[in-house]
Amino acid sequence: MRFGPAGYPSAGGKTPEKALEYTKSLGLDALEVEFVRGARISEERARTIGACAKNLDIRLSCHAPYFISFNSESLETIDKSVQWVVDTAKAAHWLGAYLIVIHAASYGKKPDEALPNVIRGLTESKNRLDDLGIKDVILGVETMGKKGQFGTLKEIRQVMEQVDGVRPVLDVAHVHARGGGCLKTAADMKSLIDEYFPLCGDVAHFHISCIKYGEKGEISHLPLSAKEPDLQFLADLLNDSSQECNFICESPLIEQDAVVFRDMFPKYRRA
């Protein structure tokens, strides 16, 4: 099990290297680099940051831009979406990050076309990456929290059947919100994990937070103290699991709640 923040903690200092050192000082060993506004980083800089993370034994992942929309009505947006995936995966490759997280699409005015359009967009992304010789970065499609967004585990499984190199990223709070608060018990959490683990591959990549939700699903992320859902259910379920997991905290308290969640596991709690 590895635990860490979504983004470089601001308390760690003004450089990625300082933020990584601070992350490690908290007893955390994962971090998701946030390229949500675009993967603008040089190969030289990325390799330097990646070497720092490797030296500290911090596993990196990356989050692709929020602008991606493979189900857009604009062909230009779809083509740009492919390029955003490719650019993020290139940066991840330089960093030594093993996975990128993708918000694939909204249903928009053509919900029936979302699945084939996501498959088409990710296939083109994968083809371009293969042409570049980049085969070491997983395309992680995130489970989404709004009912108008593409991204249920069932949908992601259907994408996986058509596109190599795709895995789900399980945002537990998003599933809770989309289901109207569906993760109420330990049994509910177990049912979710039983659906997820057969799809996750060697490393199960999680996003962790609590969440405010309404009729349309997700409204905003909340600290773990909100217990929506109660993530102790998840920790209890996985404490003795043999599945390798990577937990990235997206609560408003990215590094503090990463520590809180880690300490929910007796096996990983610091003395």
Closest CA to 58 of 67, 47, 49: 49
pLDDT digits (tens, 9 = 90+) for 94-123: 999 999 999 999 999 889 999 999 999 999
Judge whether 40 and 76 are in contact, CB under 8 Å: no
Neighbours of 56 (CB within 10 A): 16
| DSSP sequence for 200-254 | S-SEEEEEE-EEEEETTEEEEEE-GGG-SS-THHHHHHHTT--SEEEEEE-SSSH
| Residue 132: band (very low, low, confident or very high) from pLDDT cuts 50, 70, 90 | very high
Residue 271 has pLDDT above 80, yes or no: no
Domains with residue ranges and CATH for the chain: 2-262 (3.20.20.150)
**199 and 160 in contact (C-beta within 8 Å)?**
yes
Helix or strand (DSSP H, E) at 44:
helix 43-55
Show Cβ contacts of residue 158 under 8 Å, excluding neighbours closer than 6 positions. 115, 119
The answer to whether the beta carbons of residues 22 and 56 sit under 8 Å apart is: no
> How far is it, in rounded angstroms, from Cα 247 to Cα 156?
19
The residues, ordered by sequence, that sit 6+ positions from 257 with a Cβ below 8 Å of its Cβ are 208, 209, 223, 224, 249, 251
Tell me what the pLDDT averaged over the chain comes to: 97
Return the number of other C-beta atoms located less than 10 Å from residue 185's C-beta: 12
Q: How far apart, in whole angstroms, are the C-alpha atoms of residue 53 and residue 20?
A: 7
Please give the Cα distance from 128 to 51 (Å, whole number): 26
CB 63 within 8 A of CB 35: yes
pLDDT of residue 270: 79
Give the model confidence (pLDDT) of 57-98 as tens digits. 999 999 999 999 999 999 999 999 999 999 999 999 999 999
Coil, strand or helix: which one is 101?
strand
What pLDDT score was predicted for residue 267? Answer: 85
To the question of pTM greater than 0.85 for the whole model, the response is yes
Q: Supply 200's token pair.
A: 């996750």
- Residue 182 pLDDT > 90: yes
Both tokens of 184, joined, read 């109420």
Q: Is the pLDDT of residue 26 over 90?
A: yes
